Amino acid sequence: MKLVKKMTMLGVAAMLVVGMSAVSYAQIPLNMMITTAAPISMLENTYELRLQGAVLKHTAQTARALSIPQQQTIEAQEEYFFYPDDTLYLPLINTQTGKAYAQKSRPSNWSFYTYGIDSKAISNVRWATETGTLTVAIDFAASLPQSEVISCVSSITLCDDQNDCRSVLTIPFRFGNVTKEIVPGVVNEISSPMNLKAGDLYNGEAVTLSFGNNVIFKNAVLPEGQTIYLNLDRSFDSEIANRYKSFDIQCYNFMGDEDTFEEPGRVCLPAQKGDSYVYEVVDGSLKRIQSEYDEENSLVCFTSDKLGYYIVSPVLMTEAM
């Protein structure tokens, strides 16, 4: 019995050690997890970073919105365009053989530094092995809370610290949200955040915009020839929930960091009950909105002068005293 108890305690202890190791491992930065190998002199084998042949990975949302592969190989261009949450993997090419460095380990004498990085466009530059070999990865910012595109010229310098050798890669690029032209006569799918352009196909018709998960804006008319920025934030608003002591609420904030869509239309939001209450958040306070319930589609619908910030609640919300 004592032996069984002792073995059980040892098993629990082992599980705790494994669990703690897993937590510690998860907290290690990716570039620190890449092993180092023997030095490789760039005097004898000159390596450089190259854009041609680099691997570009988009999010599933971007790939779906633009009908492009989620992973692409970059071809030589004068200027490159990247989207939020893209990752660009730059290969290390031996200039004498034309072949890429084929190991996952990093030569102990290699490093890199960056110049001209715009934090609104690029969140991180790091060593990476996700493609199967050592690369330098550029992680682009997860979101761009504006309609305008950012133009940038950045550079990455690959260094042989032992022999004071270096190779510089300059990257001219533009960074912006996915832009789609509006198509009359169909439901236009919106992947937040994105830009919607009223191009040559559009002649001022009323259109329907679908933000996914049954969030719909009907009878919308866009300013002809203009591009508008659309961004729906569904994050739970704990400040409003605590102030009104209502925690079973759904939040739909179309405001973004710039004015979103200042034209009238009909907003439809998901609701489980016909007696759900709809509010607009105005200057931090709630304004009750009269709505109609679409029982067939489980939606509450109302007309609005522009897209704003709305909350759907199953109960009447009154500010707690």
- The DSSP secondary-structure symbol of 14 reads H
pLDDT of residue 12: 36
What's the CATH class of domain 34-175? Answer: mainly beta
Same fold, 34-175 and 178-313: no
pLDDT at 129 over 80: yes
Rounded percentage of the chain residues whose pLDDT exceeds 90 = 67
Contacts (Cβ under 8 Å, ≥6 apart) of 82: 56, 88, 121, 140, 173, 174, 175
DSSP lists the bridge partners of residue 188 as: 209
How does pLDDT run across 256-278, given as a tens digit for each residue? Answer: 666 567 788 999 999 987 789 99
- The DSSP secondary-structure symbol of 315 reads S
pLDDT at 216 over 90: yes
Average pLDDT, the chain: 86
pLDDT at 150 over 80: yes
Distance of CA 230 to the CA centre of its chain: 14
Average pLDDT over residues 69-93: 93
Q: Is CATH 2.60.220 what the domain over 178-313 is classified as, yes or no?
A: yes
Query: Tokens standing for 39?
Result: 């030095």
Rounded percentage of the chain residues whose pLDDT exceeds 70 = 88
Q: Where are the domains of the chain?
A: 34-175, 178-313
pLDDT at 22 over 70: no
Which range, of 27-36, 47-56, 255-264, 288-297, averages the lowest pLDDT?
27-36
- The DSSP-derived string for 151-196 is EEEEEEEEEETTTTEEEEEEEEEEE--EEEE--TTSEEE--SSEEE
